[in-house]
């Protein structure tokens, strides 16, 4: 397999690349990333052969990085042709919900909707064997806090936030291309990821970073917003399975039945880091804040997928995540410095 990974310098993308290269010694990966503020090539330094890149030259023979925008169809076509790409998967997206609300959503539409359409054209033109568009459970909207229901693949798409609406636009384009052109595309909807190398705009690393600086952690509203949390390597293993066994034209939900409120996760982080609940600061709620997400992953489980970090292992996974950040302070500090330089408005 010669695999094009779009958005591979981000959190989930970089973990996925490592997973694939570790598991398949004969696969080649091209990481195609625009390197926006959330893209970080240091996430992948441990797979690069330093002997081969004295001044940023050649990488590990099975891994190549190309800087590029998924909205650039000509460059996509060139990269696919040059590297004889057979499969593609895209993590490339604008994902920060607060930025889509307060900072305008033009970039979200351009990347999450139009960018997906450009990728679909590239896949169709170059006759790739399979393309996976990695999306989010947020496209389904919200569930009631005490509602005995989960999102299934047939749940109507009804997003409540600009970010989710832009992602839904890309998902719907995938369906249209499959029906109209038989483009071999799969769409996945995954729950909240956690693990190493996550950019600190997301809840878990954001709180860890603040606590490292002895700052209080802000909790929206009453803190009872529920998400289904999945360890990023489990997400990678699900996508690996779909690359090989997933059916084109289908949607697959990915989750581990690990519903936790934001307040519960916050208190677990505080306990792991030896901090008291006096470090919690309740703040004004976010506009359009969805109350609960919950995933029914029975469809992908029927293909044989099972996560390692199930609900009863969440505390272990969270502890390992916190310890990773504590043991990689140099990575944390470099990212904090870069974040402050590029985006002084992100706190």
**Residues belonging to the active site:** 137-138, 163
CA distances from 12 to 90, 121, 275 (A): 10, 24, 28
Closest listed residue to residue 82, CA positions, set 69, 70, 64? 64
Among candidates 78, 63, 49, 314, which has minimal Cα distance to 192? 314
Name the token pair of 137. Answer: 């459970």
Burial class (CB in 10 A: 0-12, 13-18, 19+), 312: exposed
Report the C-alpha gap between 292 and 203 in whole angstroms: 15
Facing residues of 133 across strands?
A: 90, 187
Q: CB count, 10 Å around CB of 83?
A: 17
d(CA 264, CA 292): 14
Neighbours of 208 (CB within 10 A): 21
Measured between alpha carbons, how far is 308 from 310 in angstroms, rounded to an integer?
A: 6
| Cα 162-165-167 angle, rounded to 5 deg | 110
According to DSSP, the residues that pair with 252 across neighbouring strands are 188
Question: Measured on CA atoms in the order 23, 28, 33, 39, is the torsion positive or negative?
Answer: positive
Q: Tell me the C-alpha distance between 203 and 255, whole Å.
A: 18
What are the residues whose beta carbons fall under 8 Å from the beta carbon of 300, sequence distance 6 or more?
A: 238, 241, 242, 252, 253, 254
Spatial CB neighbours of 306, under 8 Å, sequence gap ≥ 6: none
């Amino acid at each position: 397999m010669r695999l094009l990974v779009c958005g591979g310098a981000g959190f989930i993308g970089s973990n996925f690349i490592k997973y694939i290269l570790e598991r398949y010694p004969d696969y080649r990966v091209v990481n195609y990333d625009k390197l926006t503020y959330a893209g970080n090539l240091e996430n992948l330094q441990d797979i690069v052969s330093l002997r081969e890149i004295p001044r940023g030259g050649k990488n590990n023979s099975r891994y190549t990085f190309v800087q590029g925008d998924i909205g650039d169809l000509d460059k996509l076509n060139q990269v696919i042709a040059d590297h004889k790409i057979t499969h593609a998967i895209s993590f490339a997206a604008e994902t920060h919900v607060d930025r889509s609300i307060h900072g305008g959503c033009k970039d979200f539409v351009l990347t999450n909707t139009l960018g997906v359409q450009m990728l679909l054209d590239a896949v169709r033109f170059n006759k790739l064997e399979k393309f996976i568009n990695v999306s989010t459970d947020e496209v389904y909207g919200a569930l009631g806090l005490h509602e005995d229901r989960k999102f299934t693949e047939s749940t109507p798409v009804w997003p409540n936030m600009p970010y989710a609406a832009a992602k839904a636009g890309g998902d719907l384009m995938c369906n249209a291309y499959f029906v109209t052109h038989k483009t071999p595309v799969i769409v996945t909807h995954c729950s909240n990821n956690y693990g190493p190398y996550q950019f600190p705009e997301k809840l878990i690393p954001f709180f860890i970073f603040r606590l490292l600086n002895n700052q209080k952690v802000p909790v929206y509203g009453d803190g009872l917003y529920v998400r289904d949390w999945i360890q990023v390597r489990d997400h990678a293993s699900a996508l690996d399975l779909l690359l090989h066994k997933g059916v084109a034209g289908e949607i697959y939900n990915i989750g581990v039945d690990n519903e936790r409120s934001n307040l519960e996760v916050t208190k677990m982080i505080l306990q792991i880091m030896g901090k008291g609940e006096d470090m919690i600061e309740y703040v004004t709620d976010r506009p359009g804040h969805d109350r609960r997400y919950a995933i029914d992953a029975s469809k992908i489980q029927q293909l044989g997928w099972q996560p390692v970090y199930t609900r009863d292992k969440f505390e272990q996974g969270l502890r390992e995540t916190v310890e990773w950040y504590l043991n990689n302070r140099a990575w944390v500090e470099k990212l904090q410095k870069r974040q402050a330089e590029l985006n002084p408005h992100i706190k």
